Structure 1
Amino acid sequence: MSLVRPVPSPSIGQLPNGVRVIAIPMPWLDSVSLSVFVRAGSQHENARANGISHVVEHMAFKGTESRDCQRINLDAERLGGEVNAHTDKDHTAFHIHGLAQHAVPFLHMLADIVRYSNFPEAELERERQVILQEFAEDEDDPLSTAYKLFDRNCFGRHPLAQAVIGTRANIRRFTRADLLDYVHRHYTGANVVVAVAGNIDADVLRREAEIAFGTMPAGPVNSVAAPEWRGGLRERRQAGSSQSHVVLGFPLPSLAADDPAGELAAAVFGEGMSSPLLDELRERRGLVYHASCSADVLPAAGQFVIEASMAPEHLDPFFDAVAGLLLDHAAHIHPVSLERARNQLAVRSLRTHERPFRRLEEAVQQLCVQGRVRPRAEQLERLQAIGAGEVGAAFQRLLAQAPALAIVGKLKPGAGERFSARLAAAR
């Protein structure tokens, strides 16, 4: 007997121009969350355009054909709406959260921002300085720097390795004409999903979405070829740092592969304080003050990622411990660890379904990559069906590939090479 309470199924439709509409009923809420997802992110940029998706996201709120930036903010906030946006490697998204009774005007506000932003020249010069400050803050963060080096080790010159924020030179160079051209090419019906969750009437929202987005040009689907895994080591000394920050990883199947064993492997290895990674490195040996393990699975590729921060004298024992744990997990998965990881991922999945914006993002990813939105009960059932043999095989596949490793901060010569050599010898 299932303990999962049935929930209303999402309503999914598609307009003639390719725009898809997802409505997820959450009748227990008095609020509504609306998002417009555009399949345009840093992986869709060439090197000269790297960062433009993020600049477009910032500038979309600075004026449209009918409203200036002050009016854009006031229109939403006088109804209590909270407006936000984000840019990722594979998409850009624009959001409003507010009272369910205002769902229709909110939808048209987002349509105005996504479709009719005119990127005023004066606003671009002001916002350019804001983004450059954001870039400087990101550059000062050693762990962020480590992730940028790590992505380059993973994917080389493939666009998936590019930082979402772009480069300082590109941010300084982008013009209004560049932004308009980028939007014209990428913000098209085939790349847009309108998603709504809350106490809503799905039929009304679908009709309003057609009014708001139905005349959008269809355009081609943005697609990116899967990158080849490279692996390798990059180190960067950071002045003033007394710590070493490590990002280490291996390839996982992409979201298109629809294989959750890698995500479960990451949870077995490093989810929670009782996981082998945290228990051994922090609780028993005191080698790190921060460590985590996660599976970052995108439409084109996936990464099994271990990150940690520590005193530089702990780098060698840290790498020895991590190598030993990885090899142990390739040989044997403890039943208690598997039970813990399954239940932790089940709770995470349920929490996603309880959070409207996270639920929308998950649903849009599934729809765009797999062609459907997977029911909650099915997600939980397939998670429980993954056995120890499949998880162990996932670790074996990880270790068959060269690791990607980035170390930033205060360095200890040779530590990274010694770790890579140990894993190579084990292979």
Structure 2
Amino acid sequence: MQIRETRLASGLRVVSDPMATVESASLGVWVDAGTRHEPPEINGISHLLEHMAFKGTERRTARDIAEEMDAVGGHLNAYTARDHTAYYAKVLKEDSGLALDIVADILQHSTLDAEELAREQDVVVQEIGQANDTPDDIIFDHFQATAYPAQPLGRPVLGTEDLVRGMDRDTILSYMGTHYSAPRMVLAAAGRVDHDALVAEAERAFAKLSTQPDVKPETAAYVGGDYREDRDIEQVNLVLGFDGVSYEDPDYYTASVLSTLLGGGMSSRLFQEVREKRGLVYSIYSFTSSYGDGGLFGIYAGTGEDEAAELVPVMCDEVVKVVGGVTEAELHRARAQLKASILMSLESTSSRCEQVARQILVYGRAIPTAEVVAKVEAVDNAEIMRVARRLFSTTPTVAAIGPLSKVEGYERMVERLKL
């Protein structure tokens, strides 16, 4: 079966990825609005709005929403990212109409009741506190803020306690009216779905969406630098990173293979050298984060206070070494890992639904799996060396939390990373 896309007169894009052999359907709405679309004075509003969407509509109380989904054994959830927000459900095939109606209802008819808002502000403040008390979580917010200082892409998804408590119903409605318009949304479905029926239901269910045009976010400007917070805890949590690539960068797939090869699995260079050979960490991995106009390449490690003295030089050495090339066996394993991940994800309705929705938001089209796999398989040693040099020649970003007495200074790390 083939992925189909239809653009409604309102600008809402409807895309389906049918799977004839399953009994369920995943569907949802992906909104081109996230943390990077927020003015600084209302940082965190995308996330608060995501919470409030489930707190009651003109037709349903918060309890009704929960009970209707539970009554059909379904799952309803949402998340906020820096560049988008998603509201999604998974149900049996015969209940896809109900799921669509609920998602459409919470996106167009939420009451944003004042009492519910006050309670949910308390919930989000607790979430902020929990994140701050979790070093291996909050370290990534500090890493992001150091890479992109004083700009929307560097601000935390959750916002701050003062900002969250200062948001009222009118502020949320104003933000929603500006950013939650049909041209900024993708309705995606995967599984046992019929495209024509989905389009017909969408035209009815989403009739109240505004048609306000796109609002462009501030362009990302990578800076880099050093953030350190000495805490009396057991582990040093460290992230070392560099300027990365955007989704549309020609080096996107090469950077993904490089990350897998360097720290993406048990056979990766960092895992083998830092954990298996030296026993310096329990957790170490590399990652890439991409946006429409930029990205990050990073390495996370958690280690003890004494081990940190050895860890940092070894991490830097491995980064420098990969610029000199990799073996064909390493490259084969990294490509195989990525390829397997891509193909295995096709077995999940949820994964396919999100994948096609994100592709429509980012690229404006659904990308055939064969095209993605071909780009992964085309990555060779010369490309790895070139992209590694490109990325690791940029100004490093370092974020560290924990007992930092034996963590090398930023300038010394910069010296070690010179190519």
Q: Secondary structure of 1:256's match?
A: coil
Aligned match for 2:238, one of 243, 246, 253: 246
Distance, in Å, in 2 between the alignment partners of 1:284 and 1:153 is: 31
Aligned match for 1:72, one of 65, 68, 73: 65
Residue in 1 that maps onto 2:387: 394
The aligned runs of 1:85-234 (5 Å cut-off) are: 85-234=78-227
Q: How many angstroms does 1:225 deviate by?
A: 3.8
Distance, in Å, in 2 between the alignment partners of 1:82 and 1:289 is: 33
Distance, in Å, in 2 between the alignment partners of 1:230 and 1:121 is: 40
Residue in 1 that maps onto 2:282: 289
Aligned residues: 418
Quick check: 1:250–1:404 contact (8 Å CA) kept in 2? yes
Q: How many angstroms does 1:399 deviate by?
A: 1.8
Distance, in Å, in 2 between the alignment partners of 1:130 and 1:35 is: 24
1:359 is aligned to 2:352:
yes
Quick check: 1:118–1:180 contact (8 Å CA) kept in 2? no
5+ residue gaps in structure 2? none
Distance, in Å, in 1 between the alignment partners of 2:412 and 2:256 is: 23
Q: Secondary structure of 2:57's match?
A: coil
Query: Residue type matched to 2:211 in 1?
Result: A
CA-to-aligned-CA distance 1:103-154 (integer Å, 9 cap, x gap): 1121111100111111001111111111111111001011222111111111
Aligned match for 1:48, one of 41, 52, 56: 41
The aligned runs of 1:9-88 (5 Å cut-off) are: 9-88=2-81
Q: How many angstroms does 1:360 deviate by?
A: 2.0
Residue in 2 that maps onto 1:3: none
Q: How many angstroms does 1:44 deviate by?
A: 0.6
Q: Secondary structure of 1:331's match?
A: coil
Q: How many angstroms does 1:100 deviate by?
A: 0.3
Q: How many angstroms does 1:287 deviate by?
A: 1.1
Quick check: 2:186–2:360 contact (8 Å CA) kept in 1? no
Quick check: 1:224–1:300 contact (8 Å CA) kept in 2? no
Quick check: 1:323–1:422 contact (8 Å CA) kept in 2? no
1:255 is aligned to 2:247:
yes
CA-to-aligned-CA distance 1:25-50 (integer Å, 9 cap, x gap): 01111011111111111111111111
Distance, in Å, in 1 between the alignment partners of 2:10 and 2:19 is: 28
Aligned match for 1:377, one of 362, 365, 370: 370
Distance, in Å, in 1 between the alignment partners of 2:218 and 2:249 is: 14
Change (3 A) 1:199 1:325: same
Query: Residue type matched to 2:329 in 1?
Result: V
Quick check: 1:19–1:214 contact (8 Å CA) kept in 2? no
Q: How many angstroms does 1:324 deviate by?
A: 1.3
Q: How many angstroms does 1:346 deviate by?
A: 0.6
Distance, in Å, in 1 between the alignment partners of 2:407 and 2:17 is: 52
CA-to-aligned-CA distance 1:60-91 (integer Å, 9 cap, x gap): 11111121111121222212221111111111
Quick check: 1:270–1:292 contact (8 Å CA) kept in 2? yes
Q: How many angstroms does 1:311 deviate by?
A: 0.8
Query: Residue type matched to 1:96 in 2?
Result: A
Q: Secondary structure of 2:287's match?
A: strand
Identity %: 32
Distance, in Å, in 2 between the alignment partners of 1:160 and 1:355 is: 30
Distance, in Å, in 2 between the alignment partners of 1:126 and 1:370 is: 38
1:274 is aligned to 2:271:
no
Distance, in Å, in 2 between the alignment partners of 1:357 and 1:306 is: 28
CA-to-aligned-CA distance 1:146-180 (integer Å, 9 cap, x gap): 11111111111120111111111111111111111
Change (3 A) 1:344 1:416: farther
5+ residue gaps in structure 1? 1-7
Q: Secondary structure of 1:372's match?
A: coil
Q: Secondary structure of 2:150's match?
A: coil
Quick check: 1:233–1:405 contact (8 Å CA) kept in 2? yes
1:421 is aligned to 2:408:
no
Shifted more, 286-295 versus 207-216: the winner is 207-216
Alignment TM-score, normalising by the size of structure 1: 0.95
Quick check: 2:108–2:208 contact (8 Å CA) kept in 1? no
Change (3 A) 1:419 1:289: farther
Shifted more, 225-234 versus 279-288: the winner is 225-234
Residue in 2 that maps onto 1:311: 304
Distance, in Å, in 2 between the alignment partners of 1:47 and 1:324 is: 38
Where does structure 1 differ by over 4 angstroms across 4 or more consecutive aligned residues?
none
Change (3 A) 1:289 1:416: farther
RMSD across aligned positions (CA): 1.4
Query: Residue type matched to 1:309 in 2?
Result: G
Quick check: 2:308–2:407 contact (8 Å CA) kept in 1? no
